[in-house]
C-alpha cells in the first residue's frame, strides 16, 4: 500500500483558534487573510511563529488572476524574510505516487530553471519509503552545497475545516514540517535548520473523518478524505503555484 507520509498541517488554523485578529482584504476580487503569530502566541499554541497569508480561491476567479495574486503573496513574503535577489531553491515535498500527496512534485515539474534577479532551481526529494533518506536530509545536504539565498518548499496540507478543502493557498515564512498533518512529523524545513530563509506554500487537500464528525478519537478518526476531483485540483493548483514562482525568475517587470 502506498503511504501518505509528508502531508503538512494547515497552521493558519492555529492562529484562528487562538483568537488572533487577522487582516482581511481583497486583491483582484480574491479574498486574502494575513495573520502574524508572534513568540507569545507561538508558546501558547505550540505552533511556529511567523507570517501567514491565505489566499481563498473564489469560484469565478480566473487562473491568471490567481497566478498574479499568489505571485504577489510570494513577493510579500520574500520582503518579510529580507531577500532581494539571488538563488532560489524550489523544493517539492511529498510522494508523487499518491495523487493527493503529489502537489510539490507536480510544481517542480513545471518550474522553469534559471532567471536573472532570482535564479530558480528545483528538486523533489521524494519520501523516505522510496529513497531510504528523509527528505529533510536531502534538502539540507543540497542547500549546504548550493547555498541558496531563499528556499521555497511546496507540500499538500491537511486541514480541520471542510470549507478550506481544495479552496485556498497558504503561504508562510515559518517554514514547514513534513508529515505533521498525518501524525508522522519529520524535521522542519525552516531558516534555523537550513541556514537559508524558507517560505512554504501549500494547498489543503485532505481532511480526517474525525475533524468532520468532531470525534477525533472514534473508530473512524484515522481515516482521511480528499475531494473526488483531487487529481484535477493537484494539476490546477500546481500550475498556479509553478507559474507564480516562475514569474520571479522570468518576469519582464
Strands annotated E in the chain:
8-9, 23-27, 30-37, 50-56, 86-92, 118-123, 150-159, 168-172, 198-208, 224-225
pLDDT tops 90 at residue 200: yes
Distance, CA of 235 to chain centre: 15
Alpha-carbon distance of 152 to 78, in angstroms, equals 10
Q: Name the pTM for this structure.
A: 0.89
Share of the chain above pLDDT 70, in %: 88
Which of 61, 15, 22, 54 shows the shortest CA–CA distance to 168? Answer: 54
Q: Which residues pair with 50 in a beta bridge?
A: 37
Which of 4, 1, 41 shows the shortest CA–CA distance to 21? Answer: 41
Round the CA-based radius of gyration of the chain to a whole number and report it: 17
What tens digit of pLDDT does each residue of 7-22 get? 455 445 544 555 677 8
Alpha-carbon distance of 68 to 64, in angstroms, equals 6
**How much is the mean pLDDT over the chain?**
86
What tens digit of pLDDT does each residue of 149-179 get? 999 999 999 888 888 888 899 999 999 887 6
| Residues, the chain | 253
Which of 189, 78, 101 shows the shortest CA–CA distance to 140? Answer: 189
Alpha-carbon distance of 249 to 87, in angstroms, equals 10
Q: Which residues pair with 120 in a beta bridge?
A: 88, 114
Query: Can you count the helices (H) and strands (E) in the chain?
Result: 9, 10
Segment 29-57 mean pLDDT: 85
What tens digit of pLDDT does each residue of 208-234 get? 888 888 877 777 878 889 999 999 999
Q: What angle do CA 17, 18, 19 make, to 5 degrees?
A: 90
Which of 125, 204, 222, 116 shows the shortest CA–CA distance to 166? Answer: 204
Alpha-carbon distance of 219 to 223, in angstroms, equals 9
Amino acid at each position: 500500500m502506498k503511504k501518505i507520509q509528508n502531508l503538512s498541517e494547515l497552521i493558519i488554523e492555529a492562529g484562528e483558534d487562538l483568537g488572533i485578529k487577522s487582516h482581511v482584504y481583497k486583491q483582484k476580487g480574491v479574498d486574502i487573510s494575513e495573520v502574524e503569530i508572534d513568540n507569545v502566541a507561538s508558546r501558547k499554541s505550540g505552533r511556529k511563529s511567523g507570517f501567514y497569508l491565505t489566499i481563498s480561491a473564489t469560484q469565478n476567479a480566473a487562473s491568471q488572476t490567481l497566478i498574479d495574486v499568489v505571485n504577489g503573496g510570494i513577493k510579500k513574503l520574500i520582503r518579510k524574510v529580507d531577500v532581494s535577489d539571488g538563488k532560489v531553491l524550489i523544493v517539492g515535498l511529498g510522494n508523487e505516487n499518491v495523487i493527493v500527496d503529489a502537489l510539490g512534485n507536480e510544481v517542480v515539474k513545471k518550474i522553469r530553471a534559471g532567471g536573472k534577479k532570482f535564479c530558480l532551481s528545483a528538486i523533489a526529494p521524494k519520501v523516505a519509503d522510496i529513497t531510504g533518506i528523509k527528505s529533510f536530509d536531502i534538502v539540507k545536504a543540497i542547500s549546504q552545497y548550493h547555498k541558496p539565498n531563499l528556499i521555497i518548499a511546496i507540500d499538500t496540507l491537511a486541514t480541520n475545516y471542510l470549507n478550506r478543502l481544495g479552496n485556498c493557498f497558504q503561504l508562510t515564512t515559518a517554514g514547514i514540517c513534513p508529515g505533521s498533518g498525518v501524525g508522522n512529523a519529520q524535521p522542519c524545513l525552516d531558516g534555523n535548520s537550513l541556514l537559508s530563509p524558507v517560505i512554504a506554500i501549500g494547498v489543503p487537500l485532505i481532511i480526517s473523518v474525525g475533524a468532520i464528525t468532531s470525534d477525533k478519537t472514534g473508530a473512524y478518526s484515522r481515516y482521511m478524505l480528499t475531494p473526488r476531483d483531487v487529481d484535477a485540483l493537484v494539476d490546477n493548483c500546481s500550475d498556479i503555484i509553478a507559474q507564480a514562482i516562475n514569474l520571479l525568475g522570468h518576469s519582464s517587470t
